[in-house]
């Protein structure tokens, strides 16, 4: 649990390796409770959940099922699951070696609109990547963090998908760190057919300390939220 000056309480929960279904229930329960409190005029505690998921493919409410390229039998062979979810964006993959962060916060407390919130998440990761000597970028018209945009080598390193109701957020980011990228071969990631995906490990040819990186992301997000109060 963390407290910042001039800011409501922010509760940090590290859920470890947890199924997507269980993590979704945890964050949805917090999300719904926050909405109820807001409707009653009560103070809302912000929450930030960190976790990794076993192999799972998720698709947003406006996603195209044709971007899921494998059969149910192949899904079982990969020891993976498939879930439709209530976020924006198309299909993506979550798995071990990927840092997933789910902030559940009231954007009104930080004077943020939805687009500005997405920019905050994108630039958070871009700045974190600088610590590893990686130049992250925003790709015009595409949400997330990319490398070498507007080139034939353009590739995605971090996915972002959010849901916002009454200015309260749900879902968040998935940063490929030590991720097994072969699982992306079973989908058109985020609906793209001509762009690839990458990870910090692939870019640096070295395993990354996940806990250290998670701490960096957590600390930097809290600092940026505090600055917006």
pLDDT digits (tens, 9 = 90+) for 135-169: 999 998 889 999 999 999 999 999 999 999 999 99
Rounded to an integer, what distance in angstroms lies between the CA atom of residue 27 and that of residue 31?
6
| pLDDT (mean) for 205-216 | 97
How far apart, in Å, are the Cα atoms of 189 and each of 103, 109, 172? 22, 33, 16
Q: Is 190 a catalytic residue?
A: yes
How much is the pTM?
A: 0.92
Q: Mark 132-157 as b/e (b = at least 16 C-beta within 10 Å).
A: eebebbbbeeebbbbbebeeeebbbb
pLDDT digits (tens, 9 = 90+) for 88-122: 778 889 999 999 999 999 999 999 999 999 999 99
What DSSP line would sit under 89-117, residue for residue?
Answer: S-EEEE-TTEEEEEEE-BGGGGT--HHHH
| Per annotation, catalytic residue among 190, 200, 217, 225 | 190
The whole-number pLDDT of residue 8 equals 54
The whole-number pLDDT of residue 45 equals 86
pLDDT digits (tens, 9 = 90+) for 19-71: 999 999 999 999 999 999 999 999 888 999 999 999 999 988 877 888 888 88
Q: Which residue has the higher pLDDT, 130 or 68?
A: 130
The whole-number pLDDT of residue 44 equals 86
Residue ranges of the domains in the chain? Answer: 10-228
Q: Is the pLDDT of residue 5 over 60?
A: no
Please identify, in words, the CATH class of the domain defined by 10-228. alpha beta
Residues 6+ apart with CB under 8 A from 146: 136, 137, 138, 139, 154, 155, 156, 157, 195
Instruction: Say which residue the tokens 């996940």 belong to.
Output: 210
pLDDT digits (tens, 9 = 90+) for 58-86: 988 877 888 888 888 999 999 999 988 88
Rounded to an integer, what distance in angstroms lies between the CA atom of residue 87 and that of residue 171?
7
The whole-number pLDDT of residue 187 equals 83
The whole-number pLDDT of residue 96 equals 97
């Amino acid at each position: 649990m963390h407290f910042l000056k001039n800011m409501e309480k922010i509760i940090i929960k590290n859920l470890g390796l947890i199924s997507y279904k269980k993590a979704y229930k945890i964050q949805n329960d917090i999300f719904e409770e926050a909405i109820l409190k807001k409707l009653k005029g009560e103070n809302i505690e912000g929450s930030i959940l960190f976790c990794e998921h076993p192999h799972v493919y998720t698709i947003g409410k406006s996603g195209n099922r044709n971007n899921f390229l494998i059969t149910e039998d192949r899904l079982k062979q990969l020891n993976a699951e498939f879930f439709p979810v209530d976020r924006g964006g198309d299909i993506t993959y979550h798995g071990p070696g990927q840092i997933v962060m789910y902030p559940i916060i009231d954007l009104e407390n930080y004077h943020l609109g939805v687009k500005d919130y997405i920019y905050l998440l994108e630039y958070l990761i871009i700045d974190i990547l600088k610590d590893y000597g990686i130049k992250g970028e925003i790709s015009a018209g595409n949400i997330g963090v990319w490398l070498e945009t507007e080139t034939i080598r353009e590739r995605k390193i971090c996915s972002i998908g959010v849901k916002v109701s009454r200015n309260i957020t749900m879902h968040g980011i998935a940063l490929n760190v030590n991720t097994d990228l072969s699982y992306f071969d079973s989908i058109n990631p985020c609906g793209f057919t001509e762009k690839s995906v990458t990870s910090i490990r692939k870019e640096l040819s070295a395993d990354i300390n996940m806990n250290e990186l998670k701490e960096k992301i957590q600390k930097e997000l809290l600092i940026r939220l505090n600055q917006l109060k």
